[in-house]
Chains A and B, each alone.
Chain A
């Protein structure tokens, strides 16, 4: 079994960005992988339809931590609509690849992002209207 992580993955694991919990978050969400038992907890702050801040907590392996870290870095500053399109392949690409049995970690991170965005939208129903308009994202501003 090859469990060789790329240097970038190891770096993100050893020095993860955006760890912790946001004070007075706009939404929080927990996700867990039923298969391997990993957990992620996201908190998010949205301003003007954009992700102003996102933080995470992790009970998981090195790639769980690394993928969540990369994800938070990548989606910070995106509009909610853009963030909803963020896919796990972008994480894998950013890390320069993941061992095959670790790819699900990147999917869990994306699942967590989706869930925290959904929670946010449920709490802020007015923005659901703007979500419909997101096909032309420029109007969202």
Chain B
């Protein structure tokens, strides 16, 4: 049996979610925009899902827009808000550890003539609030800070950030894709004006996500040419996906209180054993203010992709921020941002635990990892 420790990349579809989706992949195939009853029945189901989601995440129902996933939502929100609010200004701030779908989109906006600032983070992965305060201006339209980082699991103080951001009349966007169910989200209470997420990060299907746009905000659509989502996002409703997203979200928060201590205990046990049994390893980031399922570890003297491949041949699936694993051969800018030296950037493995992991799997992984690290270190030239 494979051991899946890459739940921040994607998760296994929950069978209960699949069951909820199935009717909409077969008999209930109507287009939720169609006028006839096959379509309109699905329209009712769609709007119920939207209300269910709003109840859990605490935003206004009409603010939830279904998309293909968080990457689309991030693109839509960054580009759409900046384009539609030029009367306020052309300045946008994003954190230095944002997901590429925010980071690269900000860079692309820069080329279009917008002014982009990057908010630094401290070595524990926390946004530097003093720096943010200094960077904020009257013409800052949007600030984007992710709730939980995908690589090091650092959890941001969203309430404090929102407060600062609103002081200049700036909108606050948070990519909450890694935060389900690790944070209790109440968009309105927390002062989050805009948010993005994907269903597949919490045992829902791939290819569906949400953009939250607080009603009343001006935004331009990214995909136009249809009246779906009040014209904010054209394209036939992905009803099986939307039903899957809503069901996965409901399960995630219903089971949250039982899940969080369980996964934290497993993660802490894993880290304690590794510290004891493998020399020359370090935790990237801070163990506090970190999502309960994340470990990002530096294994001295050896390269991350080699560790990953060695584990993969043993049926253990993890992830790395090393340059060798990246398409552009660039190492993780997140690890750079939290202060890792260049020579340390390629020796890191991310373990992201999830709902289905067991202690037995962790024990097996520790044994395998000890062997892997020993083997690769035996012929490392690094002194």
- Residues in A with CB closer than 8 Å to B329 are 35-36, 101, 104
Q: Is A64 in contact with chain B by the CB < 8 A criterion?
A: yes
Contact A37 B381 (CB under 8 A): no
* Interchain CA distance A60-B379 in the complex, whole Å: 10
Q: Is B302 in contact with chain A by the CB < 8 A criterion?
A: yes
Q: Is B193 in contact with chain A by the CB < 8 A criterion?
A: no
How would residues 28 to 47 of chain A score, 1 for a CB under 8 Å from any chain B CB and 0 otherwise? 00100001111111000000
> How many A-B pairs with Cβ below 8 Å?
75
Of B313, B331, B345, B379, which contacts A19 at CB under 8 A?
Answer: B379
- The closest CB in chain B to the CB of A56 belongs to B379
Contact B324 A38 (CB under 8 A): yes
Contact B381 A39 (CB under 8 A): yes
The stretch of A9-17, A114-122, A130-138 in contact with B is: A9-17
Shortest distance in angstroms between B176's beta carbon and chain A's nearest beta carbon? Answer: 26
Contact A37 B343 (CB under 8 A): yes
Contact A58 B346 (CB under 8 A): no
* Interchain CA distance A58-B309 in the complex, whole Å: 15
- Residues in B with CB closer than 8 Å to A35 are 323, 329
Q: Is A65 in contact with chain B by the CB < 8 A criterion?
A: yes
How many residues does chain B have at the interface if contact means C-beta atoms less than 8 Å apart?
25
* Interchain CA distance A36-B380 in the complex, whole Å: 16
- Residues in A with CB closer than 8 Å to B331 are 36-37
- Residues in B with CB closer than 8 Å to A59 are 301-303, 380-382
Q: Is B357 in contact with chain A by the CB < 8 A criterion?
A: no
* Interchain CA distance A38-B382 in the complex, whole Å: 11
Shortest distance in angstroms between B328's beta carbon and chain A's nearest beta carbon? Answer: 8
Q: Which residues of B contact A (CB under 8 A)?
A: 301-306, 309-310, 313, 322-325, 327, 329, 331, 342-343, 345-346, 378-382
Q: Nearest 8 A-B pairs (CB), nearest first?
A: A61-B324, A61-B305, A57-B381, A41-B381, A62-B309, A19-B379, A36-B323, A37-B346
Query: Can you name 9 A-B pairs with beta carbons within 8 Å?
Result: A36-B324, A36-B331, A37-B342, A41-B381, A59-B303, A61-B322, A64-B324, A101-B327, A101-B329
